[in-house]
Amino acid sequence: MIISTQKPFEEILESLKGEDTVYIVGCGECATMTQSGGEPEVAEMKARLEEAGKKVVATDVAHATCHELDIKRIFRQNKEAALAADAFLVLSCGAGVQSVREGTSKHVTPGANSLFVGNVKRQMSFEEKCSLCGECILDEYGAICPVTRCAKGILNGPCGGTNNGKCEVDSDKDCAWVLIYNQLKSEDKLDSFMTIHGPKRWNAVERPGRLDGKAAGQEKGAA
Amino acid sequence: MGKYREACESGRFVVSGEIGPPKGTDVDTMLHHIDLLKDMVDGLNVTDNQSAVMRLGSMAVSHEIVSRGGDAIYQMTCRDRNRLALQNDLLSAHFLGLRNVLALTGDHVSVGDHKDAKEVYDFESVQLIQCIKRMNEGFDWAGNELGGGTDFYIGAVVTPESDPIEPQKLKFEKKIDAGAQFFQTQAVYDMDNFQRFMEYARGVTEGKDVKMMAGLVVLTSVGMAKYMNKFVPGVFVPDDLLEEMASVPKEEAVKKGMEICARHIRFLIDNDICDGVHVMAIGKEEIVPEILELAGLRN
């Protein structure tokens, strides 16, 4: 899921300067899980904005804010409030903010910072393990991603900064290459470690990414 | 062929020093160090935005060393440039007469002085080594034929005190497979441990023309030694050296560090442990001639 954290309230208030009536949109998926834009956070935001003198005309927690058709449907159903609002405050990831952008021509502002695609370790504990590179190479690395989990994205083994199996950039994080080594060793697949891997095709996904229909490999009859 | 490579291929014990370019345009001290050392060592490394701190460029300073009659080992990291820029710089370096390249992944920007910079790492050390080899063969990374290939002596680094050591060893072997021709190690202080590492390395390099230089960083105080133990991954100063450094008054600490460094050089030569040393005095390059003298290396 997309891990996000709410922006400082002062920053949100600043981005709503001159906008008197606000429509708050939250997200029932990721931002609920990360407590940056679920039902409780949206309600709290409403209270704080009202305390700061804003008029909150509506709040909605979409099933998934990144679903553009769903956002448009919500705004149609809530037409009056959508028309009355000067601005939309979106408590979700940047994808959600831009769904709202598609649903209104008014001022739209983000209430959260999007951090990474994260795995949920336990409640409110998340870790980045995939960076959506477009060409999955996990089969060669014991299903531990060096692109994401090594601070330098090294594909051919640890740098000189490994320290007791931890990363020199952040001693709270495991050195991905020690994890990969241990995994490949346990699978008796260290020959995979010894393969010299060329650099990533960083443009495997042309940015901005777009996918219409199924990708080539998934099409019926494709080899 | 540069003088450093010539020395490496001659089979005699090779000595290199290191120049850290300054942050700014005041280059007098650096030029003084270059002039002091250029004829005394076989080559001088020039660091590339060392520790991710922005400085005068390694290519320009390497060129200055060569034009003053010395030989430079041009250090190149993958942190600040993508593959187009790296190859562009390699061609430029070759044009300027540089013939030795030390290929490094490079310290992460988070340890440097521009912490908000976007680190690149399009390539890393193993891939950069491969790329230089390919350019030596007359092709760029994309497979296009070059109008004249390069002739670089390809260097790399290894950390003998890495913890754990096994993945580091495998990476060392990959660097050799990729085309590394000489290695300069991360600083080593425990000569027994280094000897064991070299026994392993000699096994790997047997039958291959790969030269191994021990990296020696001169201790200048007991505090520096303790600092490295605590904060520099892959560097380990053993207790007996800490005690030795602490045994002398503060003002004699540099001299003690020089003695230790010279003693280690002598040990490496007398026991035929490696092919040379890379001596790093980190800003105190004026002490290097005396260290070499103490080690009996000055003519």
Contact between A194 and B171 using a beta-carbon 8 Å cutoff: no
* DSSP reduced 3-state for B214: strand
**For testing the chain B interface, which of A162, A175, A186, A192 should be mutated: the one with the most B CBs within 10 Å?**
A162
Above 70 in pLDDT, residue A220?
Answer: no
Report the pLDDT averaged over residues B87-98: 98
Dihedral in degrees, nearest 10, Cα atoms A191, A192, A198, A200: -170
Q: Is B177 on the interface with A (CB under 8 A)?
A: yes
> Under a CB-based contact definition with an 8 Å cutoff, are residues B129 and B171 in contact?
no
pLDDT at B298: 74
* pLDDT confidence of residue A113: 98
pLDDT of residue A93: 98
Main-chain phi, psi angles of B89, to 5 degrees: -65, -35
What the block records as the tokens of B85 is 């820029």
Residue B264 contacts residue B216 (beta carbons within 8 Å): yes
What does the pLDDT read at residue A223? 42
What's the pLDDT at A219? Answer: 56
Q: What is the gyration radius of the CA atoms in chain A, in angstroms?
A: 22
* Mean pLDDT, range A160-174, rounded to an integer: 94
For residue A27, give how far its alpha carbon lies from the nearest alpha carbon of chain B (Å): 30
B210-223 confidence digits (pLDDT tens): 999 999 999 999 99
CA distance B231 to A150: 19
DSSP states of B234-285:
T----HHHHHHHHTS-GGGHHHHHHHHHHHHHHHHHHTT-SSEEEEE-TT-G
Q: For chain B, what is the mean pLDDT?
A: 97
Strand extents, DSSP E, A69-149? 87-91, 107-110, 112-122, 125-128
> ipTM score here?
0.95
Whether the Cβ atoms of residue B194 and residue B165 lie closer than 8 Å to each other: no
Rounded percentage of chain A residues whose pLDDT exceeds 70: 96
**B 108-137 residues with CB below 8 A of A?**
108, 110-111, 119, 121-127, 130
Mark yes or no for CB contact B121/A154 under 8 Å.
yes
Exposed (0-12), middle (13-18) or buried (19+): which is A80, by Cβ within 10 Å?
exposed
**pLDDT for the residue numbered A215:** 66
- Angle formed at CA B297 by CA B293 and CA B299, multiple of 5 degrees: 85
User: What's the mean per-residue pLDDT of chain A?
Assistant: 95
Q: Residue A216 pLDDT more than 90?
A: no
Tens digits of residue pLDDT in A173-193: 999 999 999 999 999 999 999
pLDDT (tens digit per residue) in A58-67: 999 999 999 9
Contacts of A181 in chain B (CB under 8 A): 164, 166-167, 170
For residue A184, which residues of chain B lie inside 8 Å, CB to CB?
Answer: none
Report pLDDT for A222.
45
Cite the beta strand spans of A81-124 per DSSP E: 87-91, 107-110, 112-122
A36 pLDDT more than 60: yes
Q: Which residue of B has its CA nearest to A183?
A: B167
Residue B85 in contact with partner chain A when CB distance is under 8 A: no
CB contact under 8 A, A181 and B125: no
